[in-house]
Structure 1
Amino acid sequence: MMTPDLLESSSIVRRLLDPSELGTREYWDSAYTRELQNYEDDASDEGTIWFDENGAEAAILKQLDQLATQGHLCKTNTATASASRFLDLGTGNGHLLFALREEDDNDEVWQGELVGVDYSDTSVQLARRIAAQKEVSGVRFEQWDLLQETAPPAWLKDGFDVVLDKGTFDAISLMSRDEGQEHACDIYRNRVAALVKPGYFLSITSCNWTKRELLEWLAPEGGELEFFAEAKYPTFTFGGQTGQTIVTLVLRRKLK
Structure 2
Amino acid sequence: MESQKPTHLEPSELGTKEYWDQTYGTDLTTHASTPSHAGHAWFSDVNASHKVLKYLTSPALALDRETTSFLDLGTGNGEMVFLLREEGGFSNKLVGVDYSKLSVELCRKLAQQKGLVLDPSLDGRNSMEFTLWDILHSKPRPEWVEGFDVVLDKGTFDAVSLSGEVDELQRRVVEGYARRVVGLVKKGGMLVVTSCNWTEEELKTWFCGEESTLEVYGRVEYPVFKFGGQTGQSVCSICFKKKS
TM-score by structure 2 length? 0.90
After superposition, what is the alpha-carbon deviation per residue over 1:171-224, rounded to whole angstroms, capped at 9, x for unaligned? 000000459623322211111001000011001100000000001011112312
Match of 1:200 in 2: 189
8 A Cα contact 1:117 1:124, kept in partner = yes
Contact persistence 2:5–2:206 (CA under 8 A)? no
Question: Which residue pairs with 1:209 in the alignment?
Answer: 198
Structure 2 match to 1:73: 63
Determine whether 1:99 maps to 2:83: yes
Residues matched between the structures, number: 234
Match of 2:115 among 135, 143, 147: 135
Measured in 1, the distance between the counterparts of 2:98 and 2:186 equals 20
Structure 1 spans left out of the alignment, 5+ residues: 1-8, 77-82
Unaligned 5+ runs, structure 2: 118-126
Cα distance, 1:33 vs structure 2: 0.9
In structure 1, what is the equivalent of residue 106 of structure 2?
126
Q: 1:161 aligns with which of 132, 140, 149?
A: 149
Q: Which residue of 1 aligns with 2:217?
A: 228
Distance across 2 between alignment mates of 1:71 and 1:241: 31
- What letter is aligned with 1:50? W
Structure 1 residues 218 and 11: alpha-carbon distance in aligned structure 2, compared to 1, 3 A threshold: closer
Give the SS at the match of 2:240: strand
> After the TM superposition, which segments of 4 or more aligned residues of structure 1 sit over 6 Å from their partners?
none
Question: Are residues 1:175 and 2:159 paired?
Answer: no
Q: 2:41 aligns to what?
A: 49
Instruction: Pick from 56, 67, 72 the counterpart of residue 88 of structure 1.
Output: 72
Q: CA deviation at 1:11?
A: 5.0
Q: For residue 120 of structure 2, what is the aligned residue in structure 1?
A: none
SS in 1 for 2:159: helix
Alpha-carbon distance change, 130 to 13 in structure 1, aligned in 2, over 3 angstroms? closer
Aligned partners of 2:49 and 2:79 also within 8 Å: no
On the 8 A contact 1:224/1:253 being kept in 2, the answer is yes
**Shift in alpha-carbon separation, 1:12–1:102, aligned structure 2, 3 A:** same
Residue identity in the other structure for 1:51: F
Partners of 1:13 and 1:222 lie apart in 2 by: 13
Question: What CA deviation, in whole Å up to 9, does each residue of 1:140-164 have, x standing for no partner?
Answer: 01100000012x3144152101001
C-alpha distance in structure 1 between counterparts of 2:83 and 2:206, whole Å: 28
Equivalent in 186, 197, 202 of residue 175 of structure 2: 186
Quote the Cα distance in structure 1 between the aligned partners of 2:44 and 2:210. 33
Q: Which amino acid aligns with 2:55?
A: Q
